[in-house]
């Protein structure tokens, strides 16, 4: 494994290619995923169980829904130090979500015209928690807690091969509906409903390519947050500790062989130091070694300002940089400031969500938040005085558009006010 150091034309070509990337190339698997989704939509539980028994480890006589007693037993069997970690992580995530929650308000925009907004939770959400290469109880916390803070009454969790830690986290949060299913079949069940898995208003949470493709296919029938691809991490530094930066590169690279992990620096000495450390440390982490060899790179630039400009063009999921540069960041899923803020802290414990946009979608939105689980509904109230004030300009606009019914609905009220 050799992580590349790029500068000049090679660097520029590399960055231009990254600007054009998408979240995932799904064309190859979409036909197979479409068959799975259509089968579950048509045949319900019969298809869902067939796929879950084949791929998710569901026993032939085992219910898809995990009994609440099993969830509670998982919590009891969890080591005290892990229970404490789950509790602390949940507390930080919940507090951050409370700060995010939008407020209702009403104000008089002009005399007699009162406007405002109402905030209402979604009725139901389906949280997807991956259960493949690594169990991810942290993702359960990151998806369920913002829904709880938003006030969503029906929160369902689906996860294939759920680990004890994932079941324990669900028990701690009071999750009542946990389904031992995964993949495209779980997404289809969420979107269209089966006898055992009721449909939901919105699906959230990361997954593999099959999960992502299924979310794409059902997106017109069921809400989703975004399509997530492999992990992305960018680090900007000119005087950092090579050991700390290399460890952070390895930490994100081990998520997936297709992870994108970059360092941008104006110091060739630091670049070589990080290169050597990362290559040495990746020897004992085969996934990270493959990821860094395939998509890892260290980009040499003329200045930190140039580094920021490249980072904004790339619009990565995670971005670590000096705090003094934070105000210059335009595009990133989540930012981490200074060397004692590892991206791993955001993955687990600090509070902000780790379900983040990839594939340059950080140009248009941030990570999962309470806002993904509520509807912000506009409202307005107009008095007699108010309609006399605003009807004439509204009538002028309606007439300009040729909408006579609109004109009359305004004129008749103005006449009677």
Residue 336: the pLDDT is: 97
Residue 310: the pLDDT is: 96
Indicate whether 220 and 248 sit together in one domain. no
Kindly tell me if the per-residue pLDDT of 1 is higher than 60.
no
The model's pTM is: 0.94
Structural domains of the chain, count: 3
In this prediction, residues 183-211 reach a mean pLDDT of 97
- Say if 378 falls within a structural domain: no
Q: What separation in angstroms does the CA of 44 have from each of 38, 41, 61, 62?
A: 10, 6, 17, 17
Closest CA to 206 of 368, 391, 5, 375: 368
Q: What is the DSSP letter of 371?
A: G
Kindly tell me if the per-residue pLDDT of 95 is higher than 60.
yes
Q: What is the mean pLDDT of the chain?
A: 95
Q: What is the DSSP letter of 20?
A: T
Indicate whether 126 and 273 sit together in one domain. no
The residue from 305, 336, 351 where one domain ends is: 351
Secondary structure of residue 376 in the 3-state scheme: strand
Integer Cα distance of 318 and 356 in angstroms: 8
Integer Cα distance of 332 and 293 in angstroms: 24
Can you say whether the dihedral through the CA atoms of 161, 223, 197, 35 is positive or negative?
A: negative
In sequence order, which residues have a C-beta less than 8 Å from that of residue 261 and are 6 or more positions away? 231, 232, 233, 249, 252, 253, 291, 292, 295, 296
The first and second tokens of residue 274, run together, are: 């990080």
Q: What is the pLDDT of residues 106-151, one digit of tens each?
A: 999 999 999 999 999 999 999 999 987 788 999 999 999 999 999 9
- Say if 377 falls within a structural domain: no
The residue from 329, 351, 373 where one domain ends is: 351
Let me know if 309 is a catalytic residue: no
The residue from 225, 254, 273 where one domain ends is: 225
Residue 23: the pLDDT is: 62
The share of the chain scoring above pLDDT 90, in percent, equals 91
Count Cβ atoms within 10 A of the Cβ of residue 70 and give its class: 0-12 exposed, 13-18 middle, 19 or more buried: middle
Q: What is the DSSP letter of 399?
A: H
Let me know if 318 is a catalytic residue: yes
Range of lowest pLDDT (5-9, 211-215, 303-307, 346-350): 5-9
The share of the chain scoring above pLDDT 70, in percent, equals 99
297-300 β-sheet, strand order: 4-6, 297-300, 260-265, 232-236, 318-321, 334-337
Indicate whether 147 and 47 sit together in one domain. yes
Residue 393 belongs to domain spanning: 383-416
Query: Are the CB atoms for 350 and 358 separated by under 8 Å?
Result: no
In this prediction, residues 155-163 reach a mean pLDDT of 96
Closest CA to 311 of 296, 297, 290, 331: 331
Integer Cα distance of 210 and 24 in angstroms: 11
Indicate whether 158 and 281 sit together in one domain. no
Q: What is the pLDDT of residues 31-77, one digit of tens each?
A: 999 999 999 999 999 999 999 999 998 999 899 999 999 999 999 99
Closest CA to 41 of 225, 228, 221, 206: 221
Query: Are the CB atoms for 102 and 370 separated by under 8 Å?
Result: yes
Indicate whether 145 and 285 sit together in one domain. no
pLDDT class of 24 with cuts at 50, 70, 90? low
Q: What is the DSSP letter of 209?
A: H
In this prediction, residues 386-398 reach a mean pLDDT of 95
- Say if 372 falls within a structural domain: no
In this prediction, residues 162-172 reach a mean pLDDT of 97
Integer Cα distance of 357 and 270 in angstroms: 29
Catalytic residue (one of 232, 254, 290, 317): 317
- Say if 361 falls within a structural domain: no
In sequence order, which residues have a C-beta less than 8 Å from that of residue 227 and are 6 or more positions away? 23, 24, 212, 215, 216, 359, 361
In this prediction, residues 329-358 reach a mean pLDDT of 96
Indicate whether 214 and 236 sit together in one domain. no
202-204 β-sheet, strand order: 177-179, 154-158, 124-128, 202-204, 223-224
The first and second tokens of residue 107, run together, are: 């104000």
Q: What is the pLDDT of residues 250-304, one digit of tens each?
A: 999 999 899 999 999 999 999 999 999 999 999 899 999 999 999 999 999 999 9
Indicate whether 211 and 266 sit together in one domain. no
Residue 77: the pLDDT is: 97
- Say if 34 falls within a structural domain: yes
In this prediction, residues 299-324 reach a mean pLDDT of 96
Residue 232: the pLDDT is: 95
Catalytic residue (one of 232, 254, 277, 318): 318
Indicate whether 102 and 198 sit together in one domain. yes
In sequence order, which residues have a C-beta less than 8 Å from that of residue 67 and are 6 or more positions away? none
Residue 3: the pLDDT is: 86
Indicate whether 319 and 254 sit together in one domain. yes
* CATH code, 84: 3.40.50.1980
Q: What is the DSSP letter of 314?
A: H
Residue 25: the pLDDT is: 76
Indicate whether 240 and 204 sit together in one domain. no
Integer Cα distance of 223 and 359 in angstroms: 19
- Say if 404 falls within a structural domain: yes
- Say if 19 falls within a structural domain: yes
């Amino acid at each position: 494994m050799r992580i590349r150091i790029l500068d000049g034309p090679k660097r520029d070509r590399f960055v231009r290619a990254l600007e054009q990337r998408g979240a995932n190339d799904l064309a190859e698997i979409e036909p197979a995923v479409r068959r799975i989704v259509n089968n579950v939509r048509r045949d319900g539980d019969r298809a869902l169980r067939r796929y879950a028994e084949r791929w998710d480890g569901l026993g032939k006589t085992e219910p898809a829904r995990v009994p609440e007693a099993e969830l509670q037993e998982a919590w009891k069997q969890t080591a005290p130090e892990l229970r404490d970690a789950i509790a602390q992580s949940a507390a930080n995530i919940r507090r951050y979500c409370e700060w995010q929650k939008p407020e209702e308000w009403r104000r008089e925009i002009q005399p007699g015209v009162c406007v405002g907004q109402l905030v209402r939770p979604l009725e139901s959400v389906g949280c997807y928690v991956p259960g493949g290469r690594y169990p991810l109880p942290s993702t359960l916390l990151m998806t369920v807690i913002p829904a709880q803070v938003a006030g969503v009454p029906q929160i369902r969790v689906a996860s294939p091969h759920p680990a004890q830690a994932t079941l324990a986290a669900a028990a701690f949060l009071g999750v009542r509906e946990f389904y031992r299913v995964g993949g495209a079949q779980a997404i289809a069940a969420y979107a269209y409903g089966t006898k055992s898995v009721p449909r939901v208003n919105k699906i959230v949470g990361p997954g593999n390519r099959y999960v992502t493709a299924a979310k794409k296919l059902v997106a017109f029938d069921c809400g989703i947050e975004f399509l997530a691809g492999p992990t992305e991490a960018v680090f900007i530094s000119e005087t950092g500790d090579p050991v700390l930066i290399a460890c952070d590169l390895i930490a994100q690279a081990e998520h997936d062989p297709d992870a994108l992990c970059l360092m941008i620096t104006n110091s060739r000495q630091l670049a070589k130091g990080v290169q050597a450390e990362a290559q040495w440390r990746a020897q004992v982490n085969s996934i990270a070694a493959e990821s860094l060899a395939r998509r890892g790179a260290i980009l040499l630039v003329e200045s930190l300002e140039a580094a920021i400009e490249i980072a904004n063009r790339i619009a990565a999921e995670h971005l670590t940089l000096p705090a003094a540069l934070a105000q210059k960041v335009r595009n990133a899923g989540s930012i981490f400031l200074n060397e004692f803020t590892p991206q791993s802290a955001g993955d687990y414990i600090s509070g902000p969500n780790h379900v983040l946009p990839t594939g340059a979608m950080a140009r248009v939105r941030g990570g999962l938040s309470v806002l993904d689980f509520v509807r912000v509904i506009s409202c307005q109230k107009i008095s007699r005085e108010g309609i006399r004030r605003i009807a004439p300009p509204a009538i002028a606009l309606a007439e300009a558009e040729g909408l006579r019914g609109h004109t009359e609905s305004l004129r008749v009220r103005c006449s009677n006010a």
